[in-house]
Structure 1
Amino acid sequence: MQGIMIQGTSSDVGKSLIATAFCRAFSNEGLRAAPFKSQNMSNNSYVTKDGCEIGRAQGIQAEAARADASVWMNPILLKPQSEQHAEVILLGKAIDSLSGKSYRETFYEKGLKTIEEALQLLEAHFELLVIEGAGSPVEINLKDRELVNMKVAEMADVPVILVADIDRGGVFASIIGTLELFTEEERKRVAGIIINKFRGDIGLFEDGVKWIEEKTGIPVLGILPYLNDHMIDGEDSLSIQPFARKTGDGILDIAVLRPPYISNFSDIDPFYYEEDVSIRWVRHLSEIGTPDAVVIPGTKSTIHDLRYFKEKGLADWLVWYAEEGGYITGICGGYQMLGRNLIDMAGTDTGSPVEKEKGLNLIPADTYFHEKKKTLQVKGRLHPSIELGMRESLDGYEIHLGETLLENECSGKRLLLLENGEEEGFYGREGKLIGTYMHHIFHNDEWRGGWLNSLRKQKGYPCKDPVPIKALKDEKYNELAEHLQKHFDWEKLKEIIFNWRKQNEMA
């Protein structure tokens, strides 16, 4: 198998972004490349065309590689539900909820077998794999039964590139420390080093490169400058973009409530590219301010996170804000919170059967949590009862356990009419109160533009055309690949990849 594995000295060093760049760069050279991450831990997920769930990073990397995303690219996905438990997604479907200890004790052999099968299938259909590791590859307490770093590099028999984040400091110690904790055989597999998130004059780091190469005997293949506005979805909550505070006349202030078990936070990403929109992530009532609109995103545990909002005073504030005519949009778990009651008879949302919780009572609806999760890509239009003059269809995806049942005679309307004929979501108070299960609804340019223009009109600001997010996305993949190749020894990387087997066979 030909390929490369990207490991990092810690979490959030930029492995996913670099893997995405590799996927597009290889695709641009005509190679059939595929991403692979054996085990992902993230509540930011991606729904494949056949309705299966994988880590969002691998779905995005597949897009960059111009390949259809499949479960074989991320055979194991762990979605944290609490401090101790995570939902286990195997080959795209939820199979269990396990504690960390139970997972290590009962799942290891099954995981290895599934990973081996996935690698074989990908090798049969692609020319090259871009494999991503997770966290640090030298966590001593986990290393004996790990399923995602050097064990996978050995199974695939590919060289490893080690990525270190210079922005957080301690880059020399993180590189040397990681290499020292590898076994001798593992260390031999490390064929290159990348210094990521560099700020300033790269020329000032020449002595640093020389020291690293002399100390380790491993070439530094690239020093990648810190990259803003790359538009590539993050893998987990560590990747949530920082506050986009913008000030001055004509700025719309949008507060996004951040629950502890936030999921699919990429729903918010398009707002970062609207010049007159300021995004604030809010955890506490003291941070809420006087926003022009509030978005309640998805969550892996709606009831737990609703209780968190109640404890912090945010739930009562939302009810007051709605009564004062504020704009509120709830997506997935946020939509469920807006209703009257949440009933978890099977314990799939909380882990405890027969759990019930009062909702915000802003929408006349009750949510029932079922054992089987709904995962599918969806497409539709605004419901015919909503007269907003929007012509474009809307597309996104659904990932949820709960079913939200609206009263037949409610004071609002349904938001969407899907292609399969189903009515979806809630539209009330002339668009000031919206709930939907459609993730990425704000990635639809016409809808996002119309929603923002309603805020602008209320504030007395002029309307604007939306930023064409969908058209820009593919351009950004190319820009990312070009950025990497400009600051990277690309020919040396290909030499490492394509000579690896030959060199090891001779050895």
Structure 2
Amino acid sequence: MSPPITLMVQGTTSDAGKSTLVAGLARALRRRGLRVAPFKPQNMALNSAVTVDGGEIGRAQALQALAAGVEPHTDFNPVLLKPSSDIGAQVIIHGRAIASLSARDYHAYKPTAMAAVMQSWDRLCAQYEAVLVEGAGSPAEINLRDRDIANMGFAEAADVPVVLVADIDRGGVFAHLVGTLELLSPSEQVRVKGFVINRFRGDIGLLQSGLDWLEARTGRKVFGVLPYLHGLFLDAEDALADGAADVKAGEGALRVVAPVYPRVSNHTDLDALRLHPQVDFRWVGPGQPIPPADLIVLPGSKSVQADLAWLRAQGWEAAIRRHLRYGGKLVGICGGFQMLGRSLADPLGLEGAPGARGGLGWLDMETVLEAEKQLVNATGHLDAALGGEAAVVAGYEIHMGVSRGAALQRPALWLASGEGLRADGAVSDDGQILGTYLHGLFDSPDALAALLDWAGLKNAHRVDLAARREADLDRLADAVETYCDLDALFDNLLPAKSSR
């Protein structure tokens, strides 16, 4: 097999559009009949996904795999860092947690991490016709250049060409691109083929003189200017979505709120609620008043005890107690589920200092963090009390906590296990509280409708999150094909575009 077509997308800043551009390119190359793999050497994110080989990768790479039409694999993101504090993170290599390291200790560990990166890279290059690489942050972060494995350090080691992407909606796009290029070493500068400008809105004619100047100033081509795609819905890599794709609900909408605790994880679980036309969804951040709601959702957390302490300090415990007293419904997912029990214990110090803390006490159960992380994709259905076998669920579990107690005798879900089913989660005796370990609880249309009915919204419209995601990936790929010179970007190595 001949060597694959390769390209690395690096950004002038975080959230410049690296993940989006790689996803759009992956779908565009798939349309041309190529077998494509996404690749991110090192990712730092609390949003993750379970792979076909039973590991864990960044959620952006799972989305890019979907765009490419392949199953997510641990080789697509060989190093994943999940921050547990401002100076430390859980380190995941080839899909498995190997240690929790401080930033300084991880810096010393980087040569070992780089070896894992190159092992994955070699495997992908042997299997795929094209490999699209996503950088992390910016390659011009001088303090991170030593032992870099995320940007130019990888590009140099793997000998891949680079394109820089910048977000013009932020302002200062020419300074971002020229400044980034100037801060690279001579060999790194040579590696940069050119630029893509992202999220442009307005008259492209008014931008042309700037593009001409940029090409003359740098000697590099502007391969494309992507338009601002209003309402584009793609799974967020880590930061909370900016709300641009949210549907604005009308009168009579179900009011749903969720707290933004410091280590909130897998918040994409709530995307289906954000996008539902009959749901008024709001994230509530630190210091913000907690508004009245019909449903409160406690999302996942990377540091459950610490986030529970934050929750209490922000007044959520009293607000939820009042909410339940007046008949409101409450859902806890993964870490949020663990918070609902009587106690949380971390005897090994996996998420902080060893010890135990009292939970909110609304479900009769205790949770203990254990060393072995549970990683599994799962399908099943809601319990009869919530919608029965007709309400199919599909999602994934990522957790180190093991919960035990009487509350689990009233499960929320039944998930496939071998030849039968296993119980998951719990529903309170009064039917007001639901807890589950399943991420993706709201993603399936039937489950979403049943859960909204349980929460008080009758005759809910059907919302298919997967169909919306596919449509927006196609919309993104259409924009990439229309506004980017793909043949020039890939040195005329691409096959002719196939008809769809």
TM-score higher than 0.5 here? Answer: yes
- 1:415 corresponds to 2:412: yes
Q: What one-letter code is carried by the residue in structure 1 that aligns with 2:410?
A: K
* Structure 1 equivalent of residue 117 of structure 2: 115
Superposed CA offset, 1:207-247 (max 9, x none): 11111111111111111111233321111125454694846
Find the counterpart in structure 2 of residue 464 from structure 1.
Answer: 460
Contact residue 341 and residue 364 of structure 2 kept, 8 A: yes
CA contact (8 A) 1:49 1:376 kept: no
Quick one: distance in 1 between partners of 2:365 and 2:227? 49
Cα pair distance change 1:147/1:453, threshold 3 Å? same
CA gap of 1:393–1:262, structure 2 versus 1, over 3 A, is same
CA contact (8 A) 2:168 2:197 kept: yes
For residue 192 of structure 1, what is the amino acid of its counterpart? G
Does 2:236 correspond to 1:237?
Answer: no
Gaps of 5+ in 2: 496-500
CA contact (8 A) 2:91 2:101 kept: yes
Partners in 1 of 2:430 and 2:461 — Cα distance? 21
- Aligned runs of 1:130-209 on 2, under 5 Å? 130-209=132-211
Post-superposition CA distance 1:92-112 (Å, at most 9, x none): 00000000011102x122122
Question: Any idea what SS the aligned residue of 2:369 has?
Answer: strand
Single out whichever of 96-105 and 112-121 deviates more from structure 2: 112-121
Structure 1 match to 2:445: 445
Letter in 2 for 1:478: D
1:88–1:94 CA contact under 8 A, matched in 2: yes
Checking the alignment, whether the CA contact within 8 Å between 1:159 and 1:190 is kept in structure 2 is yes
Does the CA-based 8 Å contact 1:339-1:364 persist in structure 2? yes
Following TM superposition, by how much is the alpha carbon of 1:292 offset from its aligned partner in structure 2, in angstroms? 1.9
**Letter aligned with residue 398 of structure 1:** E
Residue 361 of structure 1 corresponds to: 361
User: Is 1:86 aligned to 2:89, yes or no?
Assistant: yes
Instruction: Work out whether residues 456 and 463 of structure 1, in 8 Å CA contact, stay in contact via their aligned partners in 2.
Output: no
Q: Deviations over 1:70-121 (max 9, x none)?
A: 111111000000111100000100000000011102x122122111111111
- Counterpart code for 2:422: E
Q: Which amino acid aligns with 1:271?
A: L
Q: Which has the higher mean CA deviation after the structures are superposed, 46-55 or 241-250?
A: 241-250
Counterpart Cα distance in 1 of 2:344 and 2:20: 37
CA distance in 1: counterparts of 2:245 and 2:337, whole angstroms: 23
CA displacement, residues 367-391 of structure 1 (integer Å, 9 cap, x when unaligned): 111111111101112235x263551
Residue 376 of structure 1 corresponds to 376
**What residue identity is the alignment partner of 1:417?**
W
* CA apart distance, 1:268: 1.0
Gap change, CA 1:187 and 1:359, over 3 Å in 2 = same
Contact 1:40 1:76 in 2 (8 A): yes
1:487 is displaced (CA, Å) by: 1.4
- Name the residue aligned to 2:498: none
TM-score between both structures, scaled by the size of structure 1:
0.92
Q: Identify which of 348, 351, 365 aligns with 1:349.
A: 351
Deviations 1:104-157 (A, max 9, x none): 02x122122111111111011001110000001011111011111012112222
> Which residue of the partner structure matches residue 435 of structure 2?
435
Q: Which residue does 1:394 correspond to in 2? A: 393
Distance 1:209 1:83, change over 3 A: same
Identity of paired residues, percent?
A: 39
Is the 2:245–2:275 Cα contact (8 Å) retained in structure 1?
A: no
Mark the CA change 1:387 to 1:242 in structure 2 (over 3 Å): closer, same or farther: closer
- Equivalent residue, structure 2, for 1:502: none
Q: TM-score, normalised by structure 2?
A: 0.93
Amino acid in the other structure paired with 2:217? K
Is the 8 Å Cα contact of residues 415 and 424 (structure 2) preserved in structure 1? yes
Root mean square deviation, CA, Å = 2.0
Inter-CA distance 213–394: structure 2 relative to 1 (3 Å threshold): same
Q: How does 1:57-72 map to 2 (within 5 A)?
A: 57-72=60-75
Q: Does 1:495 align with 2:491?
A: yes
Other structure's SS at 2:491 match: helix
Q: Deviations over 1:288-323 (max 9, x none)?
A: 111121111101000000000111111221122122
1:128 aligned partner:
130
For residue 105 of structure 2, the aligned residue among 102, 105, 112 is 102
Deviation at 1:470, TM superposition (A): 2.4
Counterpart check, 1:17 vs 2:20 = yes
* Residue aligning to 1:505: none
Among residues 337, 351, 360, which one is paired with 2:339 in the alignment?
Answer: 337
* Structure 1, unaligned runs of 5 or more: 500-507
Counterpart amino acid of residue 228 in structure 1: H
The 2-side partners of 1:127 and 1:279 are apart by 42
Q: How many residues align?
A: 489
- With over 3 angstroms needed to count, the CA separation of the structure-2 counterparts of 1:225 and 1:254, relative to structure 1, is same
- In structure 2, the residue corresponding to 1:144 is in which secondary structure? coil
Q: Which amino acid aligns with 1:374?
A: Q
- State how far apart, in whole Å, the 2-side matches of 1:32 and 1:411 are: 44
Give the Cα–Cα distance (whole angstroms) in 1 for the partners of residues 379 and 371 of structure 2. Answer: 25
Q: Distance in 1 between matches of 2:26 and 2:129?
A: 12
Residues 250 and 278 of structure 2 are in contact (CA less than 8 Å); yes or no, is this contact kept in structure 1?
Answer: no
Closer, same or farther: CA 293–496 of 1 in aligned 2, 3 Å: same
